[in-house]
Amino acid sequence: MECNCIEPQWPPDDLLMKYQYISDFFIALAYFSIPLELIYFVKKSSVFPYRWVLVQFGAFIVLCGATHLINLWTFTPHTRTVASVMTIAKVLTALVSCVTALMLVHIIPDLLSVKTRELFLKNKAAELDREMGLIRTQEETGRHVRMLTHEIRSTLDRHTILRTTLIELGRTLSLEECALWMPTRTGLELQLSYTLRQQNPVGYTVPIHHPVINQVFSTNHAVKISPNCPVARLRPAGKYLPGEVVAVRVPLLHLSNFHINDWPELSTKRYALMVLMLPSDSARQWHVHELELVEAVTDQVAVALSHAAILEESMRARNLLMEQNVALDLARREAETAIRARNDFLAVMNHEMRTPMHAIITLSSLLQETELTPEQRLMVETILKSSNLLATLINDVLDLSRLEDGSLQLDLGTFNIYTVFREVLKLIKPIASVKKLHVSLSLAPDLPEYAVGDEKRLMQTILNVVGNAVKFSKEGSITITAFVAKPETLRDSRAPEFLPVPSDNHFYLRVQVKDSGCGVSPQDIPNLFTKFAQNQSTATRNSGGSGLGLAISKRFVNLMEGHIWIESEGLGKGCTAIFIVKLGIPERVNEYKLPYMPKMPTNHGHTAFPGLKVLVMDENGVSRTVTKELLMHLGCDVTTVGSSDECLQLVSHEHKVVFMDINVPGTDSHRITSRIHEKFAKRNERPLIVTLIGNTDKLTKENCMRIGMDGLIVKPVSLDKMKSVLSDLLEHRVLFEGI
C-alpha cells in the first residue's frame, strides 16, 4: 500500500541531516552577505585597485552560495528542475572557482608586494618624520641663536651684552638658573658676576683650578657637570632632584688676538664660565640641539664682548687724545701769551731804554763841542764811550730777541760795498792802532761795486767779526779779505748742508777775517755762536761784550741765506772767521751813484712851508680867522694880532713874514712898516712885510713899495694863490702882484 499522505519534509530519523540543512542555510546566507559587505565597503573606500577581481570573487561567492542554497532543496526529494538548476549552479561555480583560482595565482603576489611596499612606505614616512623633527629643531635652534645674537650684538655695552645673554638663554631654554662666572684680576679665581634670577649676586668666588672647571675650559663644547659642583650650587637645595647642569667656557678675547691674516687664536688663557641649570623638578634633559645652541651663543657672546672691549679702548684713547689736545692748546696759548708779554716788555723797554740813552749820548756829544778843560773832556769822552757801549748792548739784546722769534726782516736796499768796508775800517782803525795791531783790507777786483742787501746789518756783521778779531788779539795783524765766492769754493766740508746756488741776479760775498790772536781750541768752536757763551780765558775777561755778537751775526748771516764759521788751529795760533752771504745784483747802477735826495714836494699843501713862522695882523676878526686858517693849512706857524700895537710888540726876528690886512692903506700900515724897518736893521733878519688889500690900483702899489713893503696880495686869496705867493716871496724876497 502506497499512502498519499504528505510526508514530512524532514525525515525524522536523520539529525545529522537536520544540522547539515541548517549549516547550508547559514553558509548560503554568509556567502550572499559577504559580497554585499565587500561591495558596501569597497564603495565606501576610494582606493581598491582590483575591482575586476572583486566582481569575479563576488560571482564565485554568489554561485557558491547559490549552490549551497539549492542544496537545501536536495535534502528532500526534489524535482528534476531543481536537480538541473543545481547542476548548472555547480558547473558554473566550478567554472568560476577555477577561473578565480587561476586569477589568484597572479593576483596574490601583487597583493603581497603591495603589502611590502606599504610597509616600506610606512618606514620611510616614519624616518622622514624623524628627520623633519630634527630639522625643525635645528631651525628652531638657529632661530634662537640668531635672535639671541641679535639681542646680544645690538648693544656695545658689556654689561648689557651679558645680561641679555643670560635672560634670552633663560627664556629660550626655560632654564631655572643661568650664571656667569668671570675670572678675577689675579686670574686665580672665578667670581660670580651675573645671574639670571638674583639681581645683584654677592661675590662668590671659586678657585679656578678645580678639576671640573679645568675640564670645561679644556673644550669648547658645553659639558654636563654635576649639580654638586661649586659653580653649580647657585640655588638653595630644593626638595626634588636638581635639574641637569651644563657649563660652557666663554673665551674673553683681547685685541691682540685678532691678527689680520690668522683666525683669532683661542689660546688665550682667560675664560669665563657660563653655567646653565635646567628646572629642578622637571624630567627634562639636555638635548644635543640645546647644547649646540648654547655653544653657538657663547661664541657670539665672545665676539660681542671683544667688540665692546675694542669700543671701550677706542673711547678711552679718544678721550685721552682730547685731553691732550686741550692741554696742548692751553700750553700753546700760554706760550703765546708769554711771547706777547715778552714782546710788549721788549717794546716798552726798547723805547724806555733808548730814550734816556739817546738823551745821554746826544747831550754828551753836545757837551764835547763846548769848551772843556782836559779833565772834563776826558770825563765826557768816557761818558760817551760808556753810553755808546750801553746803547750797543741794548740794541744787541733787542735785536737778538727780535731775531729769535723770526720777526726781524732785512731792510733791502742798494748800497756800495766798498763804502761799507771803508766805514768798518775807519771805525776799527783807532782801536786797532791803540793796541798796535795792523789792519789790512783787500777787496777782490771782481767784487761788484754795488749790491742789494741789508747794508746796516751787513756792516754790523763785518764790524762784529772784525771787532772780535781785534778784541782777541793782543798783537800782530788783522787781515780782512773780501771776494766773490766761486761755486767750487762754496761747498765747504764743515757745512755739508749749505749748498748755495748762484744765479743771475745774485752773488755770494765771502769775507775772511784772519787774526793772530789767542785762537780757539777745536772743542770750543761749536759753542762760539751760542749766545751768552764766552770763552773764559783770561784775555777775554776784561774785554767786555755780552757774548751776543757772534750769535747775532750768525742770525743775520742766516737771514741773508749764508753761512758763518770759524777756523782755528788751536790756542795761541790765531783764528780766521769766514762768512758767506747772498747779495743781489742791482739792475741799474748809475741811478744810485749819488746819494738820493728827494726834492721838496710842492703840491702837498700841508707841508709846503713847514714851521714857517708868520705874523698876521688884521683888525677884522672874521678875516683874521680866515687868513690864519689859510696859512695854517699851508703848514705855517701863525701868530695873530688884532691891532698894530700888538703887532709891533710881538714881531721878532723869528717871524719870516708879517701879513697885514689893511682896510685903509696908508695910515697904520705906514707906521708899522717903518717901525719894523727900524727894529730890524739887518735885511736878512727882518721879516718880510706883505699887505693884503681888497682892491688895488697902481697908486696903491707904488705907495706900498715906497713905504717899504715887500709884497702886496689882492684879496680874495685862495689856498693855491697863497701857496704860490708865499713860495715866490720866499724865493725872490719881493712880490708885487701885477694889477
Partner 1 sequence: MDVVNQMQRQFVDYSTSLHREGILDDQFTQLQKLQDENSPDFVVEVASLFFEDCEKLINNMARALEQQGVDFKQVDASVHQLKGSSSSIGAVQVKNVCIAFRSFCEAQNREGCLRCLQQVTHEYSLLKNKLQTLFRLEQQILAAGGSIPVIE
Closest CB to partner 1 among 482 and 662?
662
509, 452 Cβ separation under 8 angstroms:
no
For partner 1, the closer of residues 279 and 605 by Cβ is 605
Q: Least distance (Å) from partner 1 to the CB of residue 525?
A: 60
Interaction between residue 629 and partner 1 (CB under 8 A): yes
Nearer to partner 1, 238 or 716 (CB): 716
CB of 602 to partner 1, least distance (A): 18
Does residue number 572 form part of the binding site for partner 1 (CB under 8 A)?
no
Report d(CA 674, CA 658) in Å as an integer.
13
The answer to whether residues 636 and 614 touch, using CB atoms and an 8 Å cutoff, is yes
The Cα 94–Cα 72 span in angstroms is 18
DSSP symbols for 163-183: HHHHHHHHHHHT-SEEEEEEE
Nearer to partner 1 (CB atom), residue 23 or residue 620: 620
The amino acid that residue 366 corresponds to is L
Stretch that binds partner 1, among 205-213, 447-455, 573-581, 618-626 (CB under 8 A): 618-626
Q: Which residue has the cell 657649563?
A: 247
Dihedral of alpha carbons 627, 632, 636, 641, sign: positive
Per CB under 8 A, contacts with partner 1 among 688-727 are 694, 715-716, 718-719
Among 16, 47, 202, 664, binds partner 1 (CB under 8 A): 664
* Beta carbon of residue 623, minimum distance to partner 1 (angstroms, whole number): 4
SS3 assignment for 37-60: HHHHHHHHCCCCCCHHHHHHHHHH
How big is the site for partner 1, counted in residues (CB under 8 A)? 19
Check: CB of residue 513 under 8 Å from CB of residue 536. no
Q: Which three cell numbers stand for residue 490?
A: 762754496
Q: Are 652 and 620 in contact (CB under 8 A)?
A: no
Which residue do the cell numbers 701868530 mark? 639
Q: How far is the CB of 577 from partner 1 (least distance, A)?
A: 54
Return the range that interacts with partner 1 (CB under 8 A); candidates 200-208, 222-230, 246-254, 628-636: 628-636
Task: Give the span between the Cα atoms of 125 and 132, in whole angstroms.
Answer: 10
Judged by CB under 8 A, the stretch of 97-105, 392-400, 402-410, 630-638 that binds partner 1 is: 630-638
CB under 8 A: which stretch of 4-12, 27-35, 558-566, 615-623 binds partner 1?
A: 615-623
**Nearer residue to partner 1 within complex by CB, 112 or 632:** 632
- State the nearest-atom distance from the C-beta of 665 to partner 1, in Å: 12
> Would you list the DSSP string of 486-504?
PHHHH--TT-TT------T
Looking at beta carbons only, is 329 or 629 nearer to partner 1? 629
Considering only 663, 697, 733, 734, the residue that binds partner 1 (CB under 8 A) is: 663
626 is a site residue for partner 1 (CB under 8 A):
yes
- Cα atoms in the 13 Å half-sphere on the side-chain side of 560: 33
Minimum separation from the CB atom of position 640 to partner 1 (A): 13
Q: What angle do CA 631, 637, 640 make, to 5 degrees?
A: 75
Q: For residue 671, give Cα distances in angstroms to 255, 662, 733.
A: 111, 12, 21
Q: Is 1 in the site for partner 1 (CB under 8 A)?
A: no
Q: How far is the CB of 626 from partner 1 (least distance, A)?
A: 5
Helix (H, G, I), strand (E, B) or coil at 584: strand
**Any contact of residue 639 with partner 1 (CB under 8 A)?**
no
Residues that bind partner 1 (CB under 8 A): 619-623, 625-626, 629-630, 632-633, 661, 663-664, 694, 715-716, 718-719
